[in-house]
């Protein structure tokens, strides 16, 4: 149980275009979802926290107009990188938390990540 999926697993896009990444909790309802960014050989950096039905809370230094987050349901959150540039190339990881259900003991359940390459 407590599986989180991401789609796509990897994406290549051209500079200036927008790309959407989906994060789904497959077998539980998550009231909170988190989006992280990870550069090669570095740690996970929290970008934003989203709660179902409300606006996301962005970490300092993260442009909310560039990284649009939507958390429309208890099982789906999306991250849209708008007007992507090569420096946005990174590994984006989501996690889901605040779930309700038997066996959910942990704070966050992580997705497998999405590799974004902007050319």
Give the tokens for residue 11: 């994406």
Minimum Å gap between C-beta 18 and another protein is: 23
Among 55, 64, 85, 106, binds another protein (CB under 8 A): 106
Site of tokens 């039905």: 53
Burial class (CB in 10 A: 0-12, 13-18, 19+), 16: exposed
29 binds another protein (CB under 8 A): no
- Sole residue written with tokens 């849209």: 80
Q: List C-alpha distances in Å: 59 to 34, 35, 45, 62.
A: 11, 10, 9, 6
Question: What residues numbered 66-85 form the site for another protein, per CB under 8 A?
Answer: none
Is position 42 an interface residue for another protein (rule: CB under 8 A)?
yes
Output the six-digit token pair for 23.
Answer: 């994060």
Mark the segment that binds another protein (CB under 8 A) among 12-20, 65-73, 80-88, 89-97.
89-97
34 lies in the site for another protein, by CB under 8 A: yes
- Whether the CB-CB separation of 28 and 5 falls below 8 Å is answered with no
Closest separation in Å from C-beta 39 to another protein: 12
Task: Tell me the number of residues near another protein by CB under 8 A.
Answer: 24
In the complex, the residues that contact another protein under the rule CB under 8 A are 4, 6, 32, 34, 42-46, 49, 91, 93, 95, 97-98, 106-113, 115
């Amino acid at each position: 149980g407590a599986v989180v999926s991401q789609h796509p697993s990897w994406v290549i896009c051209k500079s200036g275009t927008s790309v959407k990444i989906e994060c789904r909790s497959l077998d539980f309802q998550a009231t909170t979802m988190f989006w992280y960014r990870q550069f090669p050989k570095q740690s996970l950096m929290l970008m934003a926290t989203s709660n179902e039905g409300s606006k996301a809370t962005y970490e300092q230094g993260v442009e909310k107009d560039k990284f649009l987050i939507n958390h429309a349901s208890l099982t789906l959150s999306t991250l849209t990188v708008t007007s992507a540039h090569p420096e946005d190339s990174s590994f984006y990881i989501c996690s889901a938390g605040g779930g309700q259900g038997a066996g959910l003991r942990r704070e966050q359940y992580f997705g497998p990540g999405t590799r974004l390459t902007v050319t």
